[in-house]
Amino acid sequence: MRSRLTLWYAGVLASVLGLFAAVTLSFLYLSLRRELDATLHAEYEEAEEHVHEGLDGDVRFGGADDGRALVEAWGAEGGLIYRSPRLHEEGLGGPPTGAVEPSPVSRVLRDGTPVRIRSGTHHLSGRHVLLRVALSEEGLLRDWHRLRLGILLGLAAAVVIAGVLGHWLAGRVLAPIDRLARQAERLTVDNLGERLSVENPEDELGHLALVFNLSLSRIEDSVARLRRFTADASHELRTPLTAIRAVGEVALSGPRTPEHYRETIGSMLEEADRLGRLVDSLLFLSRADAGQGLDRQDLGLLELVKSASSLLEILAEEKGQRIEVRGDESLRLAADALLLRQALINLTDNAIKYSPRGSVIAIEVRRGEGSTAVVEIEDQGPGIPEAHLSRVFERFYRIDAGRSRDEGGAGLGLAIARWVVERHGGQLDLRSEEGKGSTVVIVLPSGDGRAAPDRAREV
Total tally of structural domains belonging to the chain: 3
CATH number reported for the structural domain that contains residue 38 in this entry: 3.30.450
Judgement on whether residues 284 and 306 belong to the same structural domain of the protein: no
Q: Torsion-angle region of residue 34: left (phi > 0), alpha (psi -120 to 50) or beta? A: alpha
Each residue of 241-283: pLDDT tens digit? Answer: 777 788 787 778 878 788 887 888 887 887 787 777 667 766 7
At 340-388, the pLDDT tens digits run: 888 888 888 888 888 888 899 999 999 888 888 999 999 888 888 776 7
My answer on whether 311 and 438 are in the same domain is yes
Q: Is the dihedral of CA 344, 345, 350, 351 positive or negative?
A: positive
Q: What is the CATH number of the domain that holds 317?
A: 3.30.565.10
* CATH at 219: 1.10.287.130
Burial 163-192 (b: 16+ CB within 10 A, else e): beebbeebeeeeebeeebeeeeeebeeeeb
Average pLDDT over residues 195-220: 78
Same domain, 26 and 119: yes
Strand, coil or helix: what is 297? strand
Say if CB 130 and CB 119 are below 8 A apart.
yes
Please report, for residues 67, 338, 339, 340, the alpha-carbon distance to residue 295 in angstroms, rounded to integers and kept in the order given: 103, 9, 9, 11
Residue 402 has pLDDT above 60, yes or no: no
Check whether residue 303 and residue 429 sit in a common domain: yes
- State the residue range of the domain holding 375: 295-445
Please report the pLDDT score of residue 290 as a whole number. 59
257 & 321 share domain: no
Q: Indicate if 15 and 117 belong to the same structural domain.
A: yes
Least confident stretch, 15-19, 146-150, 219-223, 291-295:
291-295
Give the pLDDT of residue 79.
Answer: 79
Asked if 331 and 220 sit in the same domain, the reply is no
Q: Closest Cα partner for 308 from 213, 186, 442? A: 442
76 within a domain of the structure (yes/no)? yes
The residue from 288, 304, 323 where one domain ends is 288
Element (H, E) at 334: strand 332-335
* 136 has pLDDT over 50: yes
pLDDT-derived band at 390 (thresholds 50, 70, 90) equals low
CA 157 to chain centre: 39
Report which listed range, 51-65, 72-86, 444-458, is most confident: 72-86
Type of residue at 389: L
